[in-house]
Each structure stands twice: as structure tokens, then as C-alpha cells.
Copies of this chain bind each other. A is one copy, B any other.
Amino acid sequence: MLPHRKTPETVMARLVMKFGGTSVATVERIRNVARHVEREVKAGHDVAVVVSAMAGKTNELVGWVKEASPLYDAAEYDVVVASGEQVTSGLLALVLKDMGIPARSWQGWQIPIRTSDAHGSARIDGVDGDGLAAGFARGEVAVVSGFQGVHAPSGRIATLGRGGSDTSAVAIAAAIGAERCDIYTDVDGVYTTDPRIVTKAKRLDRVAFEEMLEMASLGAKVLQVRSVELAMVHKVRTYVRSSFDDPASPQAGTLICDEEEIVEQQIVTGIAYSKDEAQITLRRVADKPGVAAAIFGPLADANINVDMIIQVVSDDTTTTDITFTVPTADFDRARTILERARDQISYASLQGATDVVKVSAIGIGMRSHAGVAAKAFRALADKGINIRAITTSEIKFSVLIDAAYTELAVRTLHSLYGLDKA
């Protein structure tokens, strides 16, 4: 849907740089961002900078919205909240011009970034890169308000939801055929696992799109899932790097790219974990056709995502035990729905657990290596860790375990797949 114009002669030098709320929290911080931009301009890039609202501003605006109307209208919410990015884009353009760097700010409706009308969590339908390109031709840095677009038929402002600025940045990179999309963040890249749990965790130089998508989906919080999906579809090389670097001597980050760009592929690239899972077990469900539909149909109708599913024959052979996971936020709702549907499903009892964690290993190398998961199951069993459920896909596997064993399991897998080494 997004136009992906690539004319290598003219666009190889285009770069998108994205800075989040803490990087633009004050005018002084914005000045630091401008120095990063200055470096890339001097290196010969045509630069589009995507900015978030100053840290704290979005919360202030959302607070007013809720005070004005607890059950607020989403379109008006967008009008109020999108003003935060508007302020930052103007201020960064001002600072750049003050430093002698030609620049102009762009709001979502000016580019335009066309979106759906799902106000508050709109989807990007397309980005017109022509206006930005004309600005580059005039030698201008384009300073773009992240997180926002316009629903063209109504002409109304629409925001993209939490983390939407990453998605804005990738969509703009695709539209202008940028060589790279640099996401400046409060960490210096993507790690083999959470460094707070495993001190030996290493920054990865390169991660394949597919791997990053799994990592983001499985709990790594560096990038929003949507922005990675978009980067993968449009093959936007996305570079996660630190905004706290000295602009004069930036450090290396992590490049998220096509797997063809990754010379030495690891079997397992990273270990992720997510505490945002809750387990539900239905005991002695009648083992008859249509029972899965009776259980999962009502949950799907209520927009509850079911993730891991495991079915075990129970003591007698006419019933089974069915275990599955739902997002923790939907746990109570799911339980209520299943209790109401007890007669249709026919089960003996419902057991729930929220003190569980999903630990996952991700790596495109799994495609060509058998027995990767089996090795993990053995290693976890050796440590006395009970596996409640398992899911696997082509490039990852996940196990559901007691939350108390989170750190032990992550460390065990990190060592097992050789990620502790330099």
C-alpha cells in the first residue's frame, strides 16, 4: 500500500531519524537532537526527522481529555493529543534554523500521511513523499510530527496509538526510499536478551526482520511490533541506536535488515520473555467434535487473543484437559466468558494462573537445524523447571513456565545456545 519509490541515483543519501519523548523533553535536549541531525546533514544525507511529544506532555494532554470526558470521543482525543508532536516539530525546526541548517516542520495532514479512521489507533494507508522530496531539493531538513496522520475523506487528524512514532518513521522511510531509518532510543541496540537478567547479554550488530518481529511480539520492548512489520514488508533497514551518545562520536547500534545482509547466521539470536500471559485450564472437557469452536469462538468474538494451546487426554478417555494462554489484561474477561458458556462447552472445572511467564528462543538458523527446541526442553528439565505449554514456529519456540523460574530459564537458554560468548 505504501509507495516504495527507489531511484538509487537520487535517494541513496536519504535518511530518516526518529527521536522519542525523552530525547526531546526540553529545548536543551532538542538542541542535542539537532546536533545529531547536523552530523548527518554534513555527511551529505537528505534528512527527515520524526519526533514525538516532549516527555510528559502526552500524559498531560490525555489527563485533560479524560477530565473533559471520561468516555471521550476518539476523534477529539486525537485533536488534543496530536498537538504535542506539533509543538516539538516546530521547536526542532526552529533550533535547526538557528544553527544555520535549513529546515521546516511537517504535520501529518501536510505531508499527508493518510490513515484509516480508527481514531486513537489508526492504520497508515499511505504516505505522499513528494512534498518532502521537494523540500530536500531545496536543501531543507524535514521535521515530521510522529504519531499522527489525517483521515483524508473527513480531513480529520488521526493518531496511530502507543509507539506510533516508530511506525511513522518507518512509513516515511519507505515513502521516500530512505537508505536507512535510524531509531534513537534509550538503549543502544537490540540485545541477545534482557541485560537486567543476564549480565552477559550482548548487543547484536544485525538482526533479521523476521527475528525482530518475533522478539517484539514476544516481549522485547525496543520497537513496536507494527513498525517492525512495516519495515519488513517494505524492506526498510532500521537501525536502533542510542540518543544519549555524544552527537560528535556516535556509537554502534543494531541494524534490523534483510537476512541476506546477515553473513553469519546464528541458530538462536536471542532469548525473550513475556510476563503478559495468563494460563487457563479447562478440566475434563467432553472430547467431541466442535468443542474447540465452543471454547475459542466466544473468546475470538470478544477480541481476546489465544496464544498457546495444549490438549492432554485426561484420566478417563471420553474427556480431555485443555490449557491455553490469553493476555493478562484479558484474563478476567476470558474467565467470565468461559464460565457463562460452561453448559455449551461442558467441562468439570476451570483453573487459572497469572504467575506464569513465556520464555522464547528466536533465530532464523532454526529453519535449517533440527532438534533445537528438544535440547532446550532437556536443559530446562535438568534444572527442575516444569513446562506447562509449548508453541513452536519456523524460527522460534516458546515455553510457558512458572514465573518464579523466569531468570533461571532465560539464563539457561542464553548459555545453552552459546550467547554468553563475546
Interface residues of A (CB under 8 A from B): 27, 30-31, 61, 64-65, 67-73, 75-80, 82-84, 86-87, 89-91, 93-95, 97-98, 104-105, 107, 109-110, 155-157
A73 pairs with B87, CB closer than 8 A: no
CB distance from A145 to the nearest CB of B (A): 9
Complex: A389 Cα to B322 Cα, angstroms: 98
A68 pairs with B27, CB closer than 8 A: yes
CB distance from A58 to the nearest CB of B (A): 12
Chain B residue nearest to A72 (CB atoms) is: B94
CB distance from A97 to the nearest CB of B (A): 5
Given A30-B68, A68-B27, A155-B110: A61 and B87 interface contact (C-beta under 8 Å): yes
Contacts of A31 in B (CB 8 A): 68
Number of copies: 2
B68 pairs with A91, CB closer than 8 A: yes
Chain B residue nearest to A60 (CB atoms) is: B87
Complex: A71 Cα to B94 Cα, angstroms: 9
A83, A84, A107, most chain B CB atoms within 10 A: A83
Chain B residue nearest to A112 (CB atoms) is: B155
Chain B residue nearest to A95 (CB atoms) is: B68
CB distance from A161 to the nearest CB of B (A): 17
A94 pairs with B110, CB closer than 8 A: no
Chain B residue nearest to A89 (CB atoms) is: B79
Complex: A72 Cα to B80 Cα, angstroms: 25
CB distance from A110 to the nearest CB of B (A): 6
A93 pairs with B73, CB closer than 8 A: yes
CB distance from A62 to the nearest CB of B (A): 12
A105 pairs with B90, CB closer than 8 A: no
Complex: A95 Cα to B110 Cα, angstroms: 28
A98 pairs with B69, CB closer than 8 A: yes
Contacts of A156 in B (CB 8 A): 110
B79 pairs with A64, CB closer than 8 A: no
Contacts of A80 in B (CB 8 A): 86-87, 90-91, 94
Contacts of A89 in B (CB 8 A): 79
A83 pairs with B87, CB closer than 8 A: yes
Given A27-B68, A61-B87, A87-B64: A79 and B98 interface contact (C-beta under 8 Å): no
A93: which of B76, B94, B155 is its contact (CB, 8 Å)? B76
Contacts of A87 in B (CB 8 A): 61, 64, 80, 83
Given A104-B75, A104-B76: A91 and B110 interface contact (C-beta under 8 Å): no
A-B contacts, 23 listed (Cβ < 8 Å): A27-B64, A27-B67, A61-B87, A64-B87, A64-B91, A65-B91, A65-B94, A69-B97, A70-B98, A71-B98, A72-B94, A73-B94, A75-B104, A76-B94, A77-B90, A79-B90, A79-B93, A79-B107, A80-B86, A80-B87, A83-B84, A86-B86, A109-B109
